[in-house]
Structure 1
Amino acid sequence: MFEAVIWDFGGVLTSSPFEAFARFETERGLPADIIRRTNAANHLENAWAKFERAEVDIEAFDRLFAAESLALGAEVRGRDVLPLLFGDLRPEMVEALKRVKTTLKTGCITNNLPANAIGSVSGRTLYVGEVMALFDHVIESAKIGLRKPDPRIYQMMVAALGVNPKGCVYLDDLGVNLKPAREMGMTTIKVLNAPQALAELEAATGLSLR
């Protein structure tokens, strides 16, 4: 029935940055969810969107994010948010990806940051080469100037994989990114945690992933 499984990266194959956001806000005495609310406000054209499309550099992102968060109640510098993005790989999700790959095509659509920006805030890299090499095709927002939930990025993936959207399962931790995939005909899974996501993926595909 299915031809491919398409994955988001951060929050799906890695732990969610939302946990780090919450810790940062508590430690700094900031309003709860100020970072997530700033990310969500005007989400197609805000500082975060522009940075993930590589339309602004890190200095501009830092200033824009600070202004946007201040308008919502408290200033948070964009540069301070970037180190919070580095989640830990979820080994059970990586194992599932390896098992899926034996029978189905695999793709990754990720909203990410320009490589030079990542390097400037952390010695770590957001992407682990061995995991990214498991995908048949990877689309990174910062490299193509498009980001989810723009429908074109999903269309690019199915074209690259040579599959019908109705033959795809798509996993993401954000509902706003699942909507366009679902409207194209994909089966979507909102990732809350690894056990839940794996159970739903097993149920959809009939594969044993654990």
Structure 2
Amino acid sequence: MTFYSGAMVTGVLIDWGGVLTTSLSDSIGRWIAADRIDADRYYAVMGELIDHAYRGGDGESSIHALERGELDGADFERDLAARLLTLDGAPPVAEGLLERMFAGFERVDTMYDMLRDVRAGGVKTCLLSNSWSNTYPRDGWDELFDAVVISGEVGMRKPEERIYLHALDLLGLSGEECVFIDDIEANIDAARALGITGIHHRDADTTLAQLEPVLRLTLRGTGL
């Protein structure tokens, strides 16, 4: 659902994994099959970590530290691997675990076309992504983004208020002048608290249909 204030929106903040790429759940599913991971155990372990990191909880978790760049990816891999099991009853190989988890991400061209369209329409764009010590395919980013905010590089993470304020400052816009697209509801709620219009991304066609009236632009992929 989109909550739109009706103000003139001239900035787009957008997530990477699961928005500019295919879904995280698809990538995780491929990794679970390829590495023969005990899926029930994985979802129980990761569900607890994600719930604490994004839905509140006392204290900090390893995900908080990983996303801010305070915890090395290799250390997180060792910790996570020790909590998991393969179908053979042994822990999975820790080295390269995160790379294998995200290897199934595929670029969604419709979303990249949207970024080109909105910039051509005079709208500023900012990538706003929580990183898990992963690398990003940055080729062509100068043509897509006016600013890039990656959590591990700035020491802040979504849904912390300060990372949204940092992104807005880089664009030189207020919250009311921006829309934020993300696939995690908690991140959108935090943005909305700052006056930013929020779009909960589920698929490219739905997001573009919701984005067009907010930006008052016609975008490729919506009937052109």
TM-score, length-scaled by structure 1: 0.83
Question: Equivalent residue for 2:5?
Answer: none
Partners of 2:139 and 2:13 in 1: how far apart?
Answer: 17
Is 2:123 the counterpart of 1:100? Answer: no
Number of the residue aligned with 2:186: 176
Match of 1:30 in 2: 39
Q: Distance in 2 between matches of 1:106 and 1:62?
A: 32
Q: Map 1:119-138; keep pairs closer than 5 Å.
A: 125-131=135-141, 133-138=143-148
Structure 1: stretches of 5+ with no match in the other structure = 119-124
| Structure 2 partner of 1:4 | 11
Q: Would the aligned equivalents of 2:50 and 2:63 in 1 still touch at CA under 8 Å?
A: no
Residue ranges of structure 2 left out of the alignment (5+ in a row): 1-7, 55-59
CA RMSD in angstroms comes to: 2.4
Deviation at 1:164, TM superposition (A): 1.3
Report SS of the residue matched to 2:179.
strand
Q: CA deviation at 1:165?
A: 0.4
- CA change 1:153–1:76 in 2 (3 A) is farther
Q: Which residue of the other structure, out of 50, 56, 69, is the alignment partner of 2:65?
A: 50
Q: Summarize the alignment of residues 1-210 of structure 1 with structure 2, pairs less than 5 Å apart.
A: 1-26=8-33, 27-31=36-40, 33-34=43-44, 36-43=46-53, 45-66=60-81, 79-86=96-103, 87-102=105-120, 103-114=122-133, 118=134, 125-131=135-141, 133-210=143-220
CA distance in 2, matches of 1:169, 1:201: 8
Higher helix fraction: Structure 1 or Structure 2? 1
One-letter amino acid of the counterpart of residue 82, structure 1: E
Alpha-carbon distance, 1:50 to partner? 1.4
CA distance in 1: counterparts of 2:163 and 2:21, whole angstroms? 21
Query: Mean Cα displacement is larger for which, 4-13 or 47-56?
Result: 47-56
What percent of counterpart residues are identical? 30
Q: Is 1:2–1:167's contact at 8 Å kept on the other side of the alignment? A: yes
Aligned equivalents of 1:188 and 1:12: distance in 2? 13
Q: Structure 1 residues 196, 94: CA separation in 2 closer, same or farther (over 3 Å shift)? A: same
Larger radius of gyration: 2
Contact in 2 for aligned 1:38/1:68 (Cα 8 Å): no
Would you say how many aligned residue pairs link Structure 1 and Structure 2?
Answer: 198
Residue 57 of structure 2 aligns with which residue? none
Q: After the TM superposition, which segments of 4 or more aligned residues of structure 1 sit over 4 Å from their partners?
A: 67-70, 74-79
Give the corresponding residue for 1:121.
none
